[in-house]
Amino acid sequence: MGGFLGALSSLSATKLGSIAIEAALKRAGVEPSLVEEVIFGNVLSANLGQAPARQAALGAGIPNTVICTTVNKVCASAMKATMLAAQSIQLGINNVVVAGGMESMSNAPKYLAEARKGSQLGHDSLVDGMLKDGLWDVYNDVGKGVCAEICAENHKITREEQDDYAIQSFECSIAAQDNGAFAWEIVPVEVSGGRGKPPTFVVKDEDVPRPAPLLTTTSVFLSCQFDAGKLRKLHPSFKETGGTVTAGNASSIRHRNYLPRLQLLQFLKPFQTLAWRLPKLISRNLTKPLLGARILVTLLGVLKQKNGKYGVGGVSNGGGGASAFAVELL
């Protein structure tokens, strides 16, 4: 998972998707020729070219006769893609399906929305594609952070509660990274080193929080300082007076290529306020909020590590709606 304008920013979402598909097939011991369908989530598709899922599949060596479908359910895209894949297998339509998601926020373009009609007298303005198509409430013309503030106000969720939840999330993330909990999910990504320089390999998540005063590096593995005291002092990002959502208790911008007794409930959301609508069901938030397939993959890893059997995960999505699942580890 790369940071915004970070080490993976030179790679398109479809290239990242190809890398993930190729590695997943290799680790599973499945030949690309056995794949019958590819269903992949992607939200910021502008400037990627036609059929992003097909591009990712062909780049991973999957035959061009395989059906490929791109899913856009905003935050829940990759999760929905995986659910559709599972359903096609359950129905007997397919035996082998590749599913997941891919995104590169760094490569989301800015639009000259009126340029096609011709530039008339006056200044032209750019529209940020990442915000417009990924992080904006189209019905009320406000940012998603404003929606989180409204939710916090309606449900009486305090700044202190959100900060507490975020700090717990950071602490769990640090512990999980230190324990190697995510190592099995990661494949090294080769990045060009530029003129005359050898390529580098990104081998860990960028912007992983570390306890202060560890210094941020400029290597292919970047870490950001985490100071609980400073987090609590951050100014609100979306509502100047009385705001509760900050850069510390909301998610960062990144690339992102349980019953009879619940052993773990993982509920991840870009704005922590919504998590508080499930009063005391939340037992742990493993990382800063991640989306779609990452929720499922991380959950499966935790179940394996803890010898668990059942798990559930869910994520709400932009525009209204959500997706959720229950899995049994066989």
| Per-residue pLDDT reduced to its tens digit, 24-59 | 999 999 999 999 999 999 999 999 999 999 999 999
Residue-level pLDDT at 254: 60
Q: CA–CA separation, 19 vs 13, rounded Å?
A: 10
CA 156/CA 153 separation, integer angstroms: 5
Lowest mean pLDDT among 24-33, 78-87, 261-270, 277-286: 277-286
Residue 216 has pLDDT above 60, yes or no: no
225 or 292: which leads in pLDDT: 292
Share of the chain above pLDDT 90, in %: 50
**294-319 pLDDT tens trace:** 888 888 988 898 899 988 888 888 89
* Residues 6+ away with beta carbon under 8 Å from 155: 273, 276, 277
Backbone angles phi, psi at 315, to 5 degrees: -155, 135
Q: What is the pLDDT of residues 74-131, one digit of tens each?
A: 999 999 999 999 999 999 999 999 999 999 999 999 999 888 888 888 888 999 999 9
Which token pair is 108?
Answer: 């989301």
Fold of 13-107: Peroxisomal Thiolase; Chain A, domain 1 (3.40.47)
What's the pTM value of the predicted model, to 2 decimals?
0.84
256 vs 135 pLDDT, higher one: 135
Burial class (CB in 10 A: 0-12, 13-18, 19+), 118: exposed
Extents of the domains making up the chain: 13-107
Query: What pLDDT was estimated at residue 281?
Result: 33
Q: Residue 201 is encoded by which pair of tokens?
A: 């390999």
Q: Which pLDDT belongs to residue 209?
A: 60
Query: Taking Cα atoms as reference points, which of 80, 83, 55, 78 lies closest to residue 68?
Result: 55
Check pLDDT > 70 for residue 259. no
Tokens of 121: 């007298």
